[in-house]
Each structure stands twice: as structure tokens, then as C-alpha cells.
């Protein structure tokens, strides 16, 4: 009994010692490598994931794979409580490092494995979201590293699998690690390209270089996140094979640190999205300017969006004047943050997909006036202020539940923005138009419902 008590005291002492002095080296994840033979420690909302060994794992006997259900998109996650680091986090002195090995089945264009980290405050609100994608059958290590924002209390690690080909969803994950450090990384890798280029043509090449900041490396191990699109040799020379987006990473041979650069390969006839930018957050219901660059002689294309990582697409509009290189898009409404959203342009002979972005709830998109009786007539009231720069407010009355569209028309009669396009309850409502991206001039606000239209003039003066 005395020996057992001593052992327990020793174990408690070691735990406290490690907690106090060695947390920086601890892997905070439970079951990070599937070696329990199941998904213990992880939340699997779709009940789709398992510890599998159908291919050779990166390490051990198992890896994570959503093999139990035929789903085009699924994710598994684990929440890690980091409230023990409150003092360092809120002082700006806490740094995260999430790493993992990712792979896919070897079938072009390959499914996608995504490793992501989300930071939440004590109310569960998202403070940041970072991710890395992989589309290659080769087990590849990825690292996400950065400073924890003040107020972070939970880190949620996401394992996301998206199917693009075949009947199985082949996103594989193994040997994951999450650590929190009290000091900034002393060594980092910076990857750059010749002439700061971020795109290259199919069958073209681009030379990359890596530099170790704060340390010394004798060389680098190079790899591509999507080898069917582009490969990289041992000297950092990238060769593009297909159109698409991909990243190249360099791992220092001495430091073990990872750096990466995101690139785009394009066809001679192609469209390159310029906005929305990667990992940007778009408020639901807002009007956003989508911009792109046209390469070649494309004249017409269709713009569409996906809210589930590219598994399903919804058409937005036919773009007849593609060379104008912009379109004002009304972001879909949502009550929950959507992190895996994309835009796509497709045309006769090709398609192009934007960077990943998020759609976040926007509670101020439509304001309902409290205590107002149901109006006797549909009416579009004068906007105020008018003239305006750059914000004006638009009130309108609705008699019954009906579909309402409010759009902006320029002086040439062209629709340049859609502020609202949704089913609307009876009453008086108010929305706003931020015309910061528009030029001065005369515009028309048009309300359309049940085949009828109502128009007001608006003058933008900058």
C-alpha cells in the first residue's frame, strides 16, 4: 500500500512538473495517430470515420479515413481546451503549431484532404481559421504555425475530406500533433519565387528559393500539395502539368521547419480569380465584388458558388462581358459560419475555381422596424441620405410574405448589384447599400416583387 501511494504521488508530481515546465513539447491531441484502433477522442458528426489500414499508414498500424460512409464531404474534429495558457495567450505570448501527415488514393484528379485549425473564444465564437489542402497519394507533412489571438480558449482541429473522383472519399490523415508554445518560433522557412510570380502557364516552369530565418539549413526537401497539377524537383524548380491551384512546401533538412507558397497554374485560355482572397470572411447577405483576370480569348462564362468544399455548385449568373473582370454578388444568407466556400467560373473548354473563403452570419443584413403595422401597399421609400457617400439606407414596405429583389441599376441601364433577393415577411424593412467600390453618378434603386417594379433615384457623390 505504501509503495502504491508513493507511486501515485510520483506520477502526480511528474504530471505537475511536465505541466509547469514541459507543456511546450506536449502533443495536446488525444489519439492523434489512430493507434487506439478507433476514433476515440474525436467528434464524428456523420459517423463516417474509422481507424483504417487499407493502405500503408505513415506510421504505426492505422490512419484516419472516412471509409464507413459514401459521403462527398465530411469532417471529424477534436476540441482542445487551452484555458491553462490564459496568461500567455491574452498577453500575446502563445504560439500554436499543428502538424499532420496527409495522403489520398492515386486517382486523378484526386480527392482532397484538408487539415485545419480553428480558434474559439469562451463563447464558442471563431477567432481565426487556417488550413492546408493536399491532393496526392504520397504521405506529406504539413504544419500550421502562428500566434494565438487574445481570448482564445479552445482550439478545434478539423480533418476534412472532399471527394472529387470515384465512389470513396479518400482523405487520409496520420500522426497529428498540436502544441502550444510560450515563445515565438526562433526558426522559420521563407519560400519565394523568381520575380515574385504566383502563377505559371501549363507546361511552364517557375524557380523557387527557400531561406531559413533565424537558423541554418544545408538544404530543403521540396514537395507539391497537388502533384497532378504541378511537381517540384529537388532544387525547387516547379513544372505545371494541369490548370489549378496548389502549394509548394520546403522542409529544412537541419531545422525541420516548414515554409510554403501558394501558386496557380493556368491554361493559355483561362480565368484567374483575384477576389475573394484566400481565407477572407464575407458577411452573409452582403454585396461583394468578385474580380478576375482573363487569359486568352474567352468571351462568355458562368459564375457559380459552392458552400461545401466543391461537392455541389449553384449557378449565380451568365457573364456575357467576361472581359469586364468583375461582378457584384449577393452572398447567400446563413446562421452559421461556413468555412469551405468557393466560387467557380466555367466555360466551353475549361473551368477555374477561386481560393477558399468563409461566409459568416450577418445579423444586420435586414432590419425589421419594431411596432410597425402591416402597410396597406407595397412601397419603396426614398433612400437616405441622398445624395450620399458611400452609404445610403433603403426602406421598403411589404404587404404579405413574398419574394423581394432590390437591385442597383446604373445610368446605362445595367444591373450592377443585387442588395436583396429573398422571401420577405410583411412589414417595413430597411437595408443599406455601401457604394464604396462604385464611381460617382446617378443610380436607380429597383424593388421587384410579383412581376411589379418600383424605382427610386440615388446620387452617389464622391
Rounded to whole angstroms, how far apart are CA atoms 300 and 284? 27
Q: Select the more confidently predicted residue: 16 or 276.
A: 276
* pTM of the entire predicted model: 0.60
Lowest mean pLDDT among 195-209, 224-238, 292-306, 428-442: 428-442
Closest CA to 99 of 157, 169, 20: 157
The angle subtended at Cα 359 by Cα 362 and Cα 284, nearest 5°, is 30
Q: Check residue 25 and give its pLDDT.
A: 60
Angle in degrees, CA 316, 320, 323, rounded to 5 = 105
pLDDT greater at residue 16 or residue 215: 215
Q: Are 112 and 104 in contact (CB under 8 A)?
A: yes
Question: 135-188 pLDDT, tens per residue?
Answer: 999 999 999 988 899 999 999 999 999 998 888 899 999 999 999 998 888 898
Query: Coil, strand or helix: which one is 6?
Result: helix
User: Lowest-confidence range among 5-19, 23-37, 148-162, 423-437?
Assistant: 5-19
Confidence of residue 15 (pLDDT cuts 50, 70, 90): very low
Domains of the chain: 2-181 (2.60.120.260), 188-266 (2.60.40.1080), 270-360 (2.60.40.10), 367-460 (2.60.40.1930)
Q: Give yes or no for residue 21 having a pLDDT over 80.
A: no
Q: Are 283 and 331 in contact, with CB atoms under 8 Å apart? A: yes
Q: Which three cell numbers stand for residue 236?
A: 525547387
- Provide the mean pLDDT of the chain: 86
Of the candidates 374, 360, 387, 390, the residue with the CA atom closest to the CA atom of residue 429: 374
Per-residue pLDDT, 13: 40
Residue 6 has pLDDT above 50, yes or no: no
Which DSSP string do the residues of 259-289 spell out, in sequence order? EEEEEEEE-SSEEEEEESPTT-EEETT-EEE
Amino acid at each position: 500500500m505504501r509503495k502504491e501511494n508513493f507511486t501515485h504521488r510520483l506520477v502526480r508530481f511528474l504530471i505537475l512538473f511536465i505541466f509547469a515546465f514541459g507543456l511546450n513539447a506536449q502533443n495536446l491531441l488525444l489519439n492523434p495517430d489512430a493507434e487506439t484502433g478507433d476514433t476515440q477522442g474525436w467528434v464524428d458528426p456523420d459517423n463516417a470515420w474509422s481507424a483504417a489500414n487499407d493502405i500503408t499508414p505513415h506510421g504505426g498500424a492505422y490512419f484516419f479515413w472516412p471509409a464507413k460512409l459514401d459521403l462527398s464531404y465530411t469532417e471529424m474534429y477534436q476540441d482542445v481546451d487551452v484555458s491553462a495558457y490564459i496568461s500567455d495567450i491574452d498577453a500575446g505570448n502563445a504560439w500554436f503549431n499543428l502538424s499532420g501527415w496527409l495522403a489520398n488514393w492515386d486517382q486523378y484528379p484526386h480527392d482532397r484532404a484538408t487539415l485545419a485549425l480553428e480558434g474559439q473564444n469562451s463563447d464558442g465564437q471563431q477567432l481565426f481559421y487556417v488550413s492546408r489542402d493536399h491532393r496526392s497519394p504520397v504521405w506529406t507533412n504539413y504544419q500550421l504555425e502562428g500566434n494565438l489571438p487574445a481570448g482564445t480558449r479552445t482550439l478545434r482541429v478539423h480533418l476534412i475530406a472532399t471527394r472529387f473522383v470515384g465512389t470513396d472519399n479518400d482523405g487520409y490523415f496520420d500522426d497529428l500533433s498540436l502544441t502550444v508554445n510560450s515563445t515565438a518560433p526562433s526558426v522559420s522557412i521563407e519560400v519565394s519565387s523568381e520575380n515574385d510570380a504566383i502563377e505559371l502557364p501549363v507546361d511552364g516552369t517557375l524557380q523557387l528559393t527557400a531561406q531559413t530565418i533565424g537558423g541554418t539549413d544545408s538544404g530543403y526537401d521540396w514537395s507539391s500539395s497537388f502533384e497532378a497539377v504541378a511537381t517540384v524537383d529537388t532544387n525547387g524548380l516547379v513544372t505545371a502539368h494541369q490548370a489549378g491551384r496548389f502549394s509548394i512546401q520546403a522542409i529544412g533538412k537541419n531545422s525541420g521547419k516548414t515554409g510554403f507558397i501558394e501558386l496557380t497554374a493556368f491554361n493559355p485560355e483561362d480565368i484567374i480569380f483575384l477576389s475573394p482572397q484566400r481565407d477572407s470572411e464575407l458577411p452573409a447577405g452582403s454585396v461583394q465584388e468578385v474580380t478576375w483576370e482573363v487569359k486568352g480569348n474567352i468571351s462568355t462564362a458562368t459564375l457559380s458558388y459552392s458552400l461545401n468544399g466543391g461537392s455541389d455548385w449553384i449557378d449565380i449568373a451568365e457573364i456575357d462581358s467576361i472581359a469586364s473582370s468583375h461582378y457584384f454578388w449577393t452572398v447567400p444568407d446563413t446562421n452559421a459560419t461556413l468555412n469551405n466556400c468557393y466560387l467557380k467560373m466555367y466555360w466551353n473548354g475549361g473551368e477555374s475555381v477561386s481560393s477558399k473563403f468563409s461566409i459568416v452570419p450577418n445579423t444586420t443584413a435586414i432590419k425589421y422596424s419594431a411596432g410597425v403595422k402591416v402597410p396597406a401597399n407595397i412601397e419603396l421609400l426614398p433612400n437616405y441620405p441622398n445624395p450620399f457617400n458611400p452609404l445610403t439606407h433603403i426602406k421598403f414596405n411589404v404587404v404579405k410574405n413574398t419574394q423581394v429583389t432590390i437591385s442597383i441599376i446604373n445610368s446605362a441601364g445595367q444591373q450592377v448589384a443585387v442588395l436583396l433577393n429573398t422571401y420577405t415577411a410583411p412589414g417595413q424593412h430597411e437595408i443599406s447599400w455601401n457604394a464604396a467600390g462604385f464611381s460617382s453618378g446617378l443610380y436607380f434603386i429597383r424593388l421587384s416583387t410579383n412581376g411589379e417594379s418600383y424605382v427610386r433615384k440615388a446620387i452617389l457623390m464622391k
